[in-house]
Amino acid sequence: MQGVSLDLAGKAALITGGARGIGAETVRLFCQAGARVAFNYRQSRDRADALAAECGGYENPPRCLAFEHELSSPADGRALVEKTVAAFGRIDILVANHGIWLADDAPIASMAETQWRRTLAVNLDAVFGLVQAAAGHMQQQAAPAEDQPRGHIVLISSTAGQRGEAFHADYAVTKGALISLTKSLSTELAPRGIRVNCVAPGWVATEMSADALADCKRGPAILAGIPVGRVAHPREVAGPVLFLCTPLAGFISGEVLNVNGGAVLVG
C-alpha cells in the first residue's frame, strides 16, 4: 500500500520569524515537503544563514532564502512579500509566525504605552501588510487544478488570544485579533480559492518562553494547567501548520486549530 505524502512540491512559501523556535521547525518541514521557502529574521543572522544552508540555500536555484527584514508596520509586511515574489516568481503560502511577548508582567495600570504600541505594531500591523500583499498576488496567479486552493494563509495565534492572559494584555489582544482576522479573511477569500486558517499554540519550549518555564513558581503552575503534562516541542506546532497547507486540508477554511495539549479547555 502506498503511503500518504504531505507534498508541497512546486509551492513557494513565506514563513515569518523563521530563524528559531516554531518558525525554524516550520521552515525545515516545508523544505522537506518540497516547497521553496523564504523566511525573515531580525537579529539572528548566523542562525538564519545556517538554517537556510541546511535547507537548500546553496542549491542552484536556492530552495531556502533568509531575509534580514524588520516587521513592525504594514509597509514592512508588504515589502517582505515582494522580496519573496521577486525571488521565487510567486507566493503560494504565507505563514505569519513572527511575534513578540515580553516575559515580565505588566499590569494594565502601569503598562507603558510604548510597550502596547510596539506589540501591536509587530504582532498585528505587520500581519495586515503581509496578508494584504500575499492575497493580492495569490489572486493574480494562475488557477491550479480543479478543486485545489489557489493559496494558503496560516496565522499563528495563541491560547492567550482565546482566554486572555493577565499582565500580558498587549499580547493577548493581538493574538485574539488574529483569530478574528482569520475568520474575516476566510469568508472573503475562500470563494477566491485562498484558504485562511489559524494555529493557536499553547506553551512551547522556545527561547521566548524559556525564562517563564524555568521559573521555580511559574513553571510548575504552567505545567499543572496542561492535561498532556508537558509543553509542546516546536515541531509539534510546525506539523499542523504544514498539514493546513497541503491538499489534504483543501476543504478547511476559517478554522482555529488548537495545539496546546488540551490547556485551552481547562484554563
40 bridge partner residues: 67
Contact predicate 186/254, CB 8 Å: yes
Nearest to 238 by CA among 208, 191, 206: 206
Among the options 30, 41, 171, 203, which is catalytic? 171
Sign of torsion, CA 215 217 221 224? positive
Cβ contact 138:194 at 8 Å: yes
Q: Is 58 marked active-site?
A: no
**What DSSP state is assigned to residue 121?**
I
Yes or no: say if 108 and 119 are a contact pair by the CB < 8 Å rule. no
Phi then psi for 256, rounded to 5 degrees? -110, 105
Residues marked as catalytic: 171
